Structure 1
């Protein structure tokens, strides 16, 4: 009689992945059991998420061995490709679970190795799918989160930076849907800040078109949030030591100076503060600045000094006060340069 009550053997993480793989193949099927299969698939997505993240309901933590087993199986049989391609066919909750699973898989190590990196390097067309998701209102946020997870890998970031997709981000960031535009901006920031030396090379090799787009579409955007995010990111980029050559080139441009001076007189204090962090680079190091940059600053000295005298914020901010004092000193000490004929 005991045999009648034998419990089924618990599924291993690899078993869950294998069944998920088979269920994903059914996602395109029109057979009568498709609805039942999709329900099973949703259940499996929850189980995969619990293995990788732990289960809050049972207060259990993820087990490293189980995570490694799941990860290895996921990339062995192309399950990642199937999942990414089938996300549009999942219900909302399953999409959310799938998004988390894909993102966390990028950080999972098997024998100290990020096997997701090798897989994606051989399947970079999946990155095209994720980026193009910004054109689909239903998929943009899911694919965007997956994309940011993948950008952790240098091979993926390099592919995006060197692809035609890079130019499209300037348009994605200005999409009318606020949530999608914000997500695209977050991905763009990740691209421009995670892999410092790679970004420095990219900016050096693509300086002209990149900053022409950055200035006109982001810093001079009609949208407040776009301008604010753009000037903050510009500061992060230019102030990093790896981008010193790019910074020197940027602050040698009359047009760039004009844009930053306009941002300094914005009605938004937040934009003014972020603009100050960049503007200080134009004011600093007089000996290395072109004569026309010095000339513009000298010609506008009284207006700038008055602006900074009136420029106060409601909260204490030592960095802000330090930057402002530095800029005031630099501008007050400026002397016109004689251009050599």
Structure 2
């Protein structure tokens, strides 16, 4: 009997391994299998299956999400391939995979949720034939934004849904959808949630909605001026939470100083109630809040068409304001701030009751 040599055995083993080696999955395979598993695991029949089988399917789904992330982000050994990214993106939105993924997200483990969030985020930026097809898909499925915004109400899911939401509103059509929805009123609650991380995430999304797409944000602020700034003033600028007040006055400055919002700015600085609120913020013990409040307060003073009631308030508080402004300094040397402050002081100093009677 002739026994095979070690070399022949090795060759045989390599041949057999080659025969049974699984074929690498294409991006289209990854998307199709992911969607099938999501639908299967979320179906009414799933609980009737054995725990062992369900765990196996869940492990498969988690691996598929990791594999999709690998295609989109690459790793330390290889960079993502544009063609593969485009194929995965095309299949993902063509097969309507985002909806079941969002719905099933709470049932995934933490690592899989992170992978899914990163996949969804990346897909928003992936071009297919120079087109961001994610934008078209989301425009046709706006109700998914309703799910993502409401996700802030679930402490376990808020950061994942919030991360997805911010990437989706990179698309102007989606930002417009959220701004025009009733959801905008919810952000005044979300920003003040007791969980600091969730409140900060909601604040980041709120800021993105109001600053990323200039024309869309300006349209929203103009159309919703009364209720929006009433809520903003009472709930954010006068919040008992220091961080909320500081972030709110900073964002208010960013909004009003943006050229796109010039009409909104003039309207805001023509209100005596708004002026009184900013004057109170100027008196805060926090230097940060004082500085940010100054950047808004100077707009009231610089307005060349100040209403009589604004002038009256400035004159009535002239000495207090001049003293407060003289003492207001920032730690680092800042020529622009010093110049602005000097100009505001000159403007207030020159106001004379006799000239405005």
Which TM-score tier does this pair reach, normalised by the shorter chain? over 0.9
The aligned counterpart of 2:271 is 253
1:294-330 Cα offsets, whole Å, 9 max, x none, are 1111111111111111112222233322322221122
Shift of 1:42: 1.1
1:241 partnered with 2:253: no
**1:288 aligned counterpart, secondary structure:** coil
Change over 3 Å in CA distance of 1:319–1:338 after alignment to 2: closer
Q: 2:272 & 2:104 partners in 1: Cα distance? A: 50
Q: 2:87 & 2:351 partners in 1: Cα distance? A: 64
The aligned counterpart of 1:322 is 339
Q: 1:317 & 1:15 partners in 2: Cα distance? A: 57
Q: 1:333 & 1:50 partners in 2: Cα distance? A: 65
Q: State which structure, 1 or 2, has the greater radius of gyration over its C-alpha atoms.
A: 2
Q: 2:343 & 2:55 partners in 1: Cα distance? A: 66
The aligned counterpart of 1:49 is 69
Q: 2:71 & 2:291 partners in 1: Cα distance? A: 44
Tell me if structure 2 keeps the 8 A contact 1:283–1:327. yes
**1:222 aligned counterpart, secondary structure:** coil
The aligned counterpart of 1:74 is 92
Instruction: Please show how residues 131-210 of structure 1 align to structure 2 within 5 Å.
Output: 131-210=149-228
Instruction: Please show how residues 210-225 of structure 1 align to structure 2 within 5 Å.
Output: 210-225=228-243
Shift of 1:27: 2.4
Q: 1:335 & 1:199 partners in 2: Cα distance? A: 38
Q: Which aligned segments of 4 or more residues in structure 1 are displaced greater than 4 angstroms? A: none
Q: 1:5 & 1:315 partners in 2: Cα distance? A: 67
The aligned counterpart of 1:17 is 31
Tell me if structure 2 keeps the 8 A contact 1:273–1:320. no
Shift of 1:251: 0.2
1:303 partnered with 2:317: no
Shift of 1:3: 4.4
Tell me if structure 2 keeps the 8 A contact 1:27–1:89. no
The aligned counterpart of 2:8 is none
Shift of 1:213: 0.3
Shift of 1:12: 1.4
1:61-110 Cα offsets, whole Å, 9 max, x none, are 21111110110010011111111111101000000111111111111110
1:43-63 Cα offsets, whole Å, 9 max, x none, are 11111111111213x2x2211
**1:152 aligned counterpart, secondary structure:** coil
The two structures have a TM-score, normalised by structure 1, of: 0.95
Q: 1:191 & 1:27 partners in 2: Cα distance? A: 34
5+ residue gaps, structure 2: 1-11
Tell me if structure 2 keeps the 8 A contact 1:26–1:34. no
The aligned counterpart of 2:55 is 35
Q: 1:18 & 1:129 partners in 2: Cα distance? A: 23
**1:110 aligned counterpart, secondary structure:** coil
Q: 1:106 & 1:262 partners in 2: Cα distance? A: 42
Q: 2:333 & 2:200 partners in 1: Cα distance? A: 28
Is 183-192 or 36-45 further displaced after alignment?
36-45
Q: 1:301 & 1:171 partners in 2: Cα distance? A: 37
The aligned counterpart of 2:6 is none
**1:117 aligned counterpart, secondary structure:** helix
